[in-house]
Amino acid sequence: MKKQNCTTNIFVKECIAQALSKLIEEKPLADIKITELARIAGVSRMTYYRNFNSKEDIFSAYFDIMFTRYDEAEGYLQPFGIYHDKKHMIHYFRFVLEYKDFLRAVINHGYGNIFLTTMTDYIVKKWLKNKSDQTEYYTLCAFSGSLYSLYVSWEKNNFRETPEKMAEILLKIHGNGKL
């Protein structure tokens, strides 16, 4: 029964996040009322308040769900090793492409920092081997920034390149591949 509750809670959070991404296309976040958000998401106001403290929390929660799914989908890849190999990067670009509508809404309305922060936290938690190695820590943070910036640029170019091509570009930027 507990797994059912968890699955339902994730579904509810996704509904609210999708509703919010649609609403911010129409008006600023500050002008969106909880009643309106709940109605469009198909949930009660109480459900909203049970899950979130603020509208910004919706983005963070949804990104957490996204990165949990990213991990699940990444299962076929080597769990350890080099975080920036071509297979991992192709997986990243394919994955974010699936969420492009939500990401576009969030980034274009000034909340991309939440995506960047969540992604950086995920990358550092997953790949930082030596917590006292500041160089490794900053390298991972810079890598996260590269992923974010490339995604934003790719979106602005209407995703003309394939995920495979984007992975090649990233590898060239970081000195690990050739174009």
At 3-41, the pLDDT tens digits run 555 677 889 999 999 999 999 989 999 999 999 999 999
Cβ count within 10 A of residue 84:
21
Share of the chain above pLDDT 70, in %: 89
CA distance 142 to 55: 28
Burial 148-157 (b: 16+ CB within 10 A, else e): bebbbebbee
Predicted TM-score (pTM) of the model is 0.83
- Domain boundaries of the chain, sorted by first residue: 1-52, 59-179
Q: Kindly tell me the sign of the dihedral angle through the C-alpha atoms of 152, 97, 115, 76.
A: negative
Predicted local distance difference test score (pLDDT) of residue 85: 80
- Of 9-18, 83-92, 117-126, 148-157, where does mean pLDDT reach its minimum? 83-92
The CA angle 28-31-33, to the nearest 5 degrees, is 130
Predicted local distance difference test score (pLDDT) of residue 113: 95
Taking the chain, what is the end-to-end CA distance rounded to the nearest angstrom? 51
Domain 1-52 has CATH 1.10.10.60: yes
Question: Residue 149 above 60 pLDDT?
Answer: yes
Q: What are phi and psi of 35, to 5 degrees?
A: -60, -45
Q: What are phi and psi of 94, to 5 degrees?
A: -65, -40
CA atoms within 13 A on the CB side of 128: 21
Predicted local distance difference test score (pLDDT) of residue 176: 61
Question: Residue 150 above 60 pLDDT?
Answer: yes
Q: Which residues contact 100 (CB under 8 A, 6 or more apart)?
A: 155, 159
Cβ count within 10 A of residue 126:
15
